[in-house]
Chain A
Amino acid sequence: MSTHDAVAAPPTAGEANYLNCSHGFRSWFFTLDHKRIGVMYLASILSFFLLGGILALLIRTELLTPTRTLMSADDYNKVFTLHGAIMIFLFIIPGIPAALGNFVLPLMLGAKDVALPRLNLASYHLYLIGALIAVLSIVQGGVDAGWTFYAPYSTTTNTAVVTLTFGVFVLGFSSVFTGLNFIVTMHKMRPAGMGWFDMPLMLWALYATSIIQVLATPILGITMVLLIVERVMGIGIFDPALGGDPVLYQHFFWFYSHPAVYIMILPAMGIISEVVSVFSRKHIFGYRAIAYSSLAIAAFSFLVWGHHMFTSGQSELMNMIFSALTFSVSIPSAVKMFNWLSTMYKGSIRFDTPMIYALSFMFLFGIGGLTGLFLGSLATDVHLHDTYFVVAHFHYVMFGGTVIAFLAGLHYWWPKMFGRMYDERWGRISAIIISVGFNITFFTQFVMGSQGMPRRYYAYVDKFEPYHVISSIGSYLMAAGFFMTAWYLVKSLYRGRPAPVNPWGGGSLEWQAASPPVMHNFTDEPVGGDPYDYTNQAYDPALGGYVLRKTEVSDR
């Protein structure tokens, strides 16, 4: 490839890029290139999303009738455990940071790679090893303790708890390495002209996420170690029969897992900050407020874990403190929400697929966050705890929030990752189908939960049957939306229109790299500046994308 020509003409899809610059299994599996690692992560997490999704459909199908439909009660327990564990540890936690984040982070910094590429590859290999171990537990007959592995049930059930928790332990390291790498990268690889407050908000979100990954995940690690040691050696630390304390397990677990829900939602919020601004053609409103609120969420996230134990015999004083702190988390979340809405205000909004997802994120996350407040209030939580209300709450935030934002990001960066445009019309249609299906599936669960339908039950009283049937139908609709998405995305790889450098008119640096980028990301030094300034961009119909107006190229 000739770099000198590339200076004059924007790189085209015909040139060697990171996808086709080398071939063969080893060139991918042992690559140090953050883009390839990101793509491998993407393929892996999507495979597990498919597996977790199939398990979800099994759950919903079983619940079509108040008694047995498909499987035995024991199998049902195993299916929902695996569904939860796979979705959380193998899909949603690595989802945005390790797959999309890995791809875009160095590009957004104008850097050639993350600071520690070998650690990045190690993180991916550990992910694969952890995933393999976790999957091994299925072969061993599955696990039925729930994704939370509460002792003493998890220490006494005769299913493959040790294998799955060991897998989770290994996956924890993978997550730590990604977070650590991102922090170092943002500290040490920012180009000379880019201060902290010149970074795109996606990077602030990834930064806050990484802090949580580094500070919370080790606690998950030690918790899993203790659980394994408890099961294998019987040290009694969580076993009341031996003088141990099972609630201590819950404290350990949630000290990680509450911050972990922010590992899931913070990068999602980062994507929304990008998409909302770009598709409203308007500068992001309240840049600093959004940046600081990410850090505030990260800080608060460590102080609220006790809200999962309101009914576990925690002291009343603790309950009150944790309840108050839980309420305070909603402040920074609301700050973001208001800033996104203000960004859209008087913008020229374009309803492309990423934006449709972003809008549905705001709607769904709004519901999810507000119902979190119902659960954070002591009096209502006693009634709602361990019901389908909780199930609906966390699906609204994790699915309606994180997965929807992941889809927004996937569509937003898809042209950059693979150099192809997907079919916009199908994109919008399936975005709408998924959102509608989602609401049908989970809104009903709020209703039945508030009426007392307990979570994790295999059989239920007849009066809940209509709700369960509606919920299951919604889930099939959602599945249809996902299969459509998979179909047009895969099709775009072969038949899609070649993507221009900047199809959406984004202002951050990744939109100055070729689509797909070359091996070392940029052929020319990218021109820095305010990532949310669109005034000097012009749409070029011949390219089908945006270009910088020559006259106004100034250095910030």
Chain B
Amino acid sequence: MSTPHEGRDEHADPHLQHHFGSMVQQYDSGKFGMWLFLVTEVLLFGGLFCAYAVYRANHPEIFAYAHQFLDKTLGGLNTLVLIVSSLTMAMAVRSAQLGQQRRLKQMLAATLLCACVFLGVKGVEYEHKWKHGLLWGTRYVPQGEAASPASTNATAVETTAGTVAVPADGGTTLPHAASGPEGLADRPQAGHDGATSGGHGPAGPAPRNVHLFFGIYFVMTGLHGIHVLAGMVAIVWLLRRSAAGEFGPGYFAPVDFVGLYWHLVDLIWIFLFPLLYLIH
């Protein structure tokens, strides 16, 4: 092409694309684009948070009752793992900026490891739910011992007992939806003898439509899990490029951008964890 490249350095960085005037302009554009993309991600999850808010406002009893089936310890562990991974990711970005090739690879690998642990723990949790029929919609057929709330302390149980007692029927101003198919509502405790946590499970009958909580739980954590997976793919890509020594003080934009994405994925979990696991 013989088009004039006004004002461009003849020996410009090979990473500089033809339509930019300088590396700074290129980097700023990419970063701005990345932030906008993160805005769309926030809005994507925003829809789910909205759905969560609507259902929680309309049926607080479902959430108060059902959240006890989630394992706070595993959830807390995963929160910790993700926070650590954000730290290692931030350090990876810094290593790239400083041109520390070995450390960059180590930090990326550490982040990847954390992501694996997160998904592994999530898998354990899902499996538990699956085994005990704590699923969405018509597949919500709680069974067996462990289908009782996994609460480890008595307070949570008491709180629930208090909450459940009231709204069993009148906790919402909305008329009750038509009851679902057979075996769906009103008897999630079938077969449960209250043996866990000091001898008493949640008092009173389970509210209707508990499955709604699990529907929301699986959609939100599922979509989040997909985002973790996508992040892992991106990190593997970064690892391959950093193995070729591509990043350094002059060019670290991809590491930076994936880092931003990773922090967002982490942040979303920081909201999911209390909203799903730690409610009263």
Contact = CB atoms under 8 A, between A and B. Distances in A.
A1 B2 CA distance: 7
Contacts of A165: none
B209 interface: yes
A133 B44 CA distance: 21
Nearest to B44: A218
Nearest to B43: A218
Given A221-B44, A244-B212, A245-B54, A229 B219 contact: yes
B44 A240 contact: no
Interface stretch (B25-33, B119-127, B161-169, B242-250): B25-33
Contacts of B50: 252
Given A225-B223, A242-B137, A236 B1 contact: no
B32 A112 contact: no
A28 B121 CA distance: 46
Contact of B47 (A106, A119, A223, A235): A223
A231 to B, nearest CB: 11
A218 B47 contact: yes
A183 interface: yes
Interface in A147-192: 176, 180-181, 183-185, 187-189
Given A218-B43, A240-B177, A245-B54, A3 B29 contact: no
A477 interface: no
Nearest to A242: B180
B138 A188 contact: no
Interface residues of B, number: 49
A233 B137 contact: yes
A242 B33 contact: no
A207 to B, nearest CB: 13
A242 B32 contact: no
Interface in B76-100: none
Contacts of A115: 19, 29, 33
Contacts of A3: 2-4
Interface string B216-239: 101100010000000000000000
Interface in B171-196: 177-178, 180-181, 184
Given A1-B2, A242-B212, A245-B54, A188 B28 contact: yes
Interface string A223-237: 101100100011111
A317 interface: no
Given A116-B29, A241-B178, A243-B177, A236 B215 contact: yes
Contacts of B18: 112-113, 520
B203 interface: no
Interface residues of A, number: 50
Interface stretch (B34-42, B101-109, B144-152): B34-42
B216 A237 contact: yes
B208 interface: yes
A381 B242 CA distance: 61
B46 interface: yes
Interface of B, secondary structure class, is: helix
A540 interface: no
Interface in B37-76: 37, 39-41, 43-48, 50-51, 54-55, 58-59
A234 B139 contact: yes
Contact of B32 (A187, A225, A236, A240): A187
A111 interface: yes
Contacts of A188: 25, 28-29, 32
A248 B28 CA distance: 39
A529 interface: no
A242 B1 contact: no
B33 A234 contact: no
B47 A176 contact: no
Interface in A439-479: none
Contacts of A353: none
Interface string A408-438: 0000000000000000000000000000000
Interface string A298-319: 0000000000000000000000
B41 A218 contact: yes
B251 interface: no
Contacts of A106: 19
B218 to A, nearest CB: 7
Contact of A241 (B1, B44, B180): B180
A245 B181 CA distance: 17
Residue in A189, A233, A248 whose Cβ sees the most chain B Cβ within 10 Å: A233
18 contacts: A115-B19, A184-B36, A188-B25, A214-B40, A218-B44, A219-B44, A226-B51, A233-B137, A233-B139, A235-B137, A235-B219, A241-B178, A242-B211, A243-B208, A243-B209, A245-B54, A248-B51, A520-B3
Given A180-B36, A222-B45, A234-B137, 5 more contacts: A119-B33, A189-B25, A219-B44, A233-B136, A236-B136
